[in-house]
Amino acid sequence: MTVSVRPASTAPATEEFVSFRLLGPVELLSDGGPIAIGSAKARALLAALLLRANHFVPITRLAEVLWGDELPLTYRSTLHSHVMRLRHLLERYQCAETIRTAPTGYLISASPDTLDLLRWGQLTTRAAQARQDADRVGELMLLTSACGLWAGRVLANVESDLLQREEVPRLAEELLQAHERRIDIGLELGRHAEFTGELRELTARYPYRERFWAQLMEAYCLSGQQSEAVSAYAEVRQLLADDLGIDPGSELQDLHVRILRSESPARQDLAVAMPAHQSPPGGLCQLPIDVPCFTGRLNVIAELAERLGDENALTQVAVLHGAPAVGKTAVAVRVAYQLRKKFPDGQWFVPLGGSGSSARSPDEVLEDLLYASGLRDEEIPPGPQARAALLRARLADRRVLLVLDDAASVKQVESVLPGTGACQVLVTSRRSLRGLCALYGAMIRRLPPLSADESIQLLRDLLDGRTADVAAARSLARLCGHLPLALRIAAAILTARPEIDLAEYVSELERPGRLDRLVLPGACHLSIRAAIASSYDSLNSRAQWLLGVLASQPDHKISLGQAAATLGMTERTTADLIAELADAGLIDEDGPEVLVPEMIRLFASGLVDH
C-alpha cells in the first residue's frame, strides 16, 4: 500500500500514490511512473535522508554526503536551498511535511509502504522471528519477498563517495546474506531444482563468493548431477587461481572431497516442502536484478507499463523485439518492477532461450510456471496440453505478470498464455512475433538502439566522470553502435584499465578487429560477436549469404531492386530473404532501402564468399 495525499494547488487535480526506491537506482515513483528528481546533488540528498528515514540527519553529515572534503564556504545555505527544491518537488505529490527541519538537521518521513528499504527491514525482521520459531517455510517466503524488492545495485545513480563507501557495501552484504539463507532453506526443503539456475546466475554475478559455489554444488548433488558438481568445483578453482592466485576455501574443498567419495551432502528433512497452492506474501517475484545506470527508453517503458497495467485492457500480450544486444531484457525487467503493485499475485520471469540453438520446449516452460504457481512435482501432469490447461486454471483467479524472455517463436509463447485478462504477458524476442498480434491482438513494439545523447549519458553514469572529452565519448558511442551491451562492455574495460583515457581507447577500437575487443572474459563472458552470432546461426544459408552481400555495400544501404540485381534473384525471393533478416533483428528497413547496422556489418562482412 502507498500513501494517498491531496496534492498542493500547483499539482494536477488528481491524487497521486508516491513511493521511494533505494534498493537499486534512487527513484521517486508515482502512479504515472518515475518522477524526475533533478540534479545529482538532489539524488544524493534524497538518498542520504531516506537511508535514515524518520530520523533527523545532521547538517554536517548531509554536507559531507554532497561535497565530501571540499565544503563550500556557504554550505549551510546551499544545503538549505537543495532541501527547499526537493521539498517543493515532493509538495506536488505529497504533503509539505514530508521533509521536516530542525536547527541541526533534516528528517524525511516514510513508512514500509512508501520506502523499499523500510519494507526490506520489516520483512527480514519477520524472517528472523520465523527462524527463531523454526518456521522454515514462513522464513523462506518472507526472504523471497524481501529479496524481490531489490532492483539492481543499491544507490546505483548516486554520486557520493561517502555513501558509496559506507552504505553500498553494507546493504549489498545484507542482500547477499539473505540470498544465502534463502537458498539454504530451499535446499533443506528439497527444492534444489528451483535454485540451480539462480545459483548459476549468482556465481556469474559474484564469482568470488564461495558460498554460492558451495550451494550450487549441493544443488547439483541433490539433483543427482554429481558430474556437474565436480565441474563447478573445477570452474571456481580455476577462476580463483587465475584471478586471485588462491585456492578455494575449506568449505568448498571439503565438499569436493565428499562428492568424489560419493558421500552425498544431502540436507536434512528433504521431504518437507513448501505447501502446495501457497505463494510468498505479496506474490512470488522472480524478476532478475534491475540493471544499474539505466538510461533512456522512457517512452516505450511508459507505453508498455500503461498497457499492461490497465485492468480493462483487451490486449493481454505485449512483445518487445529488437536486434541482439539492444537491451530488451533490461527494459522488460524495468517495466515489470514498475508494475509490481499492479500484479499482487506475482511477477514470474521465465527465460526461453530463443536466441540460442536450443530453445526451451513449451513443456519445460509450463513446468517452470506450474512450479511458480505453488505445485509440487507429483502434482504436475505430463504432456504440454494437460500442463497448459492446468496453468490456465491456476491463473484464472490471480493477477500475475508473466515475463517471457528471449522467445524463439509464436508457438513457444502461445502454449503458455493464460486464459484471463487479469494476467498479462510481456515477451521479449529478437523476432517480431507478429503472429501474436494476428492471433491474440498483442501489442508489438520494436526497441531501437540508444540515441547518441542517451549513449553518452550511459557512459557518463558508468564511467564516473571519465567522459569529459565529449568528442571521444561520442566516437565511443558510435563505435559501440549505440548498443547498451556494447557500451557496458566498453565501460567495464575502461574501468579495469584506469591508465588509458577515452581517446586512447577509441583509437584502439577504430583499428580492425573491433568486435574481438568488445569482450569481457571470465565467468560471465560477455561478447557482442557471440550475441550477434546466435541470431546469425538461426538463419538459413541463403539469408546468411544475403546478409554478407548487404554488409559489403559501400554505404551500407541498398534498395530492393539493387539487391535483387546484385544477387541475381527475383525481387519476390529477395524480399522474402530480406524479411527474414529484418525479422531476426539483423537489418533495418529504412523506407525503400535496407540498412545494415554498424555492428552487424562488422560481423557479417567477409563471412560469405560472394
pLDDT, tens digit, for every residue of 227-248? 888 888 888 998 888 888 888 8
The pLDDT of residue 7: 37
Residues 6+ apart with CB under 8 A from 103: none
The pLDDT of residue 263: 57
The letter for the amino acid at 1 is: M
Q: In this predicted structure, which of 104-118, 358-372, 556-570 has the lowest mean pLDDT?
A: 556-570
C-alpha Rg value of the chain to the nearest Å:
26
Q: Yes or no: say if 437 and 410 are a contact pair by the CB < 8 Å rule.
A: no
Is residue 537 predicted with pLDDT exceeding 90? no
Three-class HEC string of 408-454: CCHHHHHCCCCCCCCCEEEEEECCCCHHHHHHHCCEEEECCCCCHHH
Q: Yes or no: say if 256 and 230 are a contact pair by the CB < 8 Å rule.
A: yes
Q: Yes or no: say if 319 and 442 are a contact pair by the CB < 8 Å rule.
A: yes
Q: The domain 3-108: what is its CATH number? A: 1.10.10.10
Is residue 15 predicted with pLDDT exceeding 70? no
Mean local confidence (pLDDT), 551-557 = 71
pLDDT band of 315, cuts 50, 70, 90: low
CATH number belonging to the domain at 539-604, selected among 3.40.50.720, 1.10.10.10, 1.20.1250.20, 3.40.50.2300 = 1.10.10.10
Mean local confidence (pLDDT), 160-183 = 91
Place of cell 576455501: 249
In the chain, the percentage of residues whose pLDDT exceeds 90 is 15
Give the class (CATH, top level) of 116-260.
mainly alpha
β-strand partners of 426 = 318, 403
The pLDDT of residue 210: 92
pLDDT band of 266, cuts 50, 70, 90: very low
Q: How many Cα atoms sit within 13 Å of 322 on the Cβ side?
A: 20
pLDDT band of 609, cuts 50, 70, 90: very low
Is residue 421 predicted with pLDDT exceeding 80? no
Q: Yes or no: say if 583 and 408 are a contact pair by the CB < 8 Å rule.
A: no
Taken in order 487, 306, 341, 442, is the CA torsion positive or negative?
A: negative
Distance, first Cα to last Cα, the chain: 62
pLDDT band of 429, cuts 50, 70, 90: very high
β-strand partners of 108 = 99
Fold agreement (116-260, 296-442)? no
Q: In this predicted structure, which of 212-221, 364-373, 441-450, 582-591 has the lowest mean pLDDT?
A: 582-591
The pLDDT of residue 44: 92
The pLDDT of residue 212: 93
Residue 518 vs residues 51, 60, 480: alpha-carbon distances, Å = 37, 44, 8
pLDDT band of 278, cuts 50, 70, 90: very low
Residue 488 vs residues 2, 85, 130, 415, 584: alpha-carbon distances, Å = 34, 33, 41, 35, 23
| β-pairing verdict for 526-527 and 519-520 | antiparallel
> Which residue did the predictor score with more confidence, 421 or 501?
501
pLDDT band of 91, cuts 50, 70, 90: confident
What are the cell numbers at 358? 536450443
Is residue 249 predicted with pLDDT exceeding 70? yes
The pLDDT of residue 363: 85
What are the cell numbers at 101? 527541519
Residue 44 vs residues 35, 38, 217, 593: alpha-carbon distances, Å = 15, 11, 41, 47
Collapsing DSSP to helix, strand or coil, 403 comes out as strand
pLDDT tens digit sequence for 188-208: 887 787 788 889 889 988 899
Q: In this predicted structure, which of 19-33, 65-79, 446-460 has the lowest mean pLDDT?
A: 19-33
Place of cell 545484507: 174
| β-pairing verdict for 284-285 and 346-351 | parallel
CA 21 and chain centroid, separation: 16
pLDDT band of 384, cuts 50, 70, 90: confident
CA-based diameter of the chain, in Å? 82
Mean local confidence (pLDDT), 402-420 = 87
pLDDT tens digit sequence for 465-520: 677 788 888 999 999 999 988 998 888 888 888 888 888 989 989 888 888 888 87
> What is the pTM (predicted TM-score) of this model?
0.57
Q: Exposed, middle or buried by CB within 10 Å (0-12, 13-18, 19+), for 378?
A: exposed
**Closest alpha carbon to 352 in 343, 361, 340, 339:** 361
Query: Which residue blocks in 22-148 are alpha helix, DSSP H?
Result: 40-51, 59-67, 75-91, 116-132, 136-147
pLDDT band of 5, cuts 50, 70, 90: very low
Is residue 45 predicted with pLDDT exceeding 90? yes
Residue 546 vs residues 324, 535, 538, 582, 587: alpha-carbon distances, Å = 18, 14, 14, 12, 11
Collapsing DSSP to helix, strand or coil, 273 comes out as coil
Rounded Cα gap, residues 325 and 518, in angstroms: 12
Mean local confidence (pLDDT), 15-36 = 77
The residue ranges of DSSP E strands in 294-452, in sequence order, are: 317-321, 346-351, 401-407, 424-429, 443-446
Is residue 180 predicted with pLDDT exceeding 90? yes
Mean local confidence (pLDDT), 600-610 = 69
296-442: CATH topology: Rossmann fold (3.40.50)
Place of cell 529479496: 147
pLDDT band of 12, cuts 50, 70, 90: very low
Backbone angles phi, psi at 474, to 5 degrees: -65, -40
What average pLDDT is seen over the chain? 82
3-state helix, strand, coil in the chain (%, to 5): 50, 10, 35
β-strand partners of 561 = none
What are the cell numbers at 182? 534463502
**Closest alpha carbon to 437 in 581, 320, 317, 312:** 317
Residue 188 vs residues 215, 241, 272: alpha-carbon distances, Å = 11, 31, 8
What are the cell numbers at 423? 494476467
Q: In this predicted structure, which of 15-29, 190-204, 448-462 has the lowest mean pLDDT?
A: 15-29
* Residue-level length of the chain: 610
> Which residue did the predictor score with more confidence, 391 or 9?
391
Q: Yes or no: say if 199 and 216 are a contact pair by the CB < 8 Å rule.
A: yes
Domain ranges of the chain: 3-108, 116-260, 296-442, 452-525, 539-604
The pLDDT of residue 274: 39
Mean local confidence (pLDDT), 454-471 = 82
pLDDT band of 586, cuts 50, 70, 90: confident
Mean local confidence (pLDDT), 44-62 = 91
DSSP 540-560: -HHHHHHHHHHHTSTTSEEEH
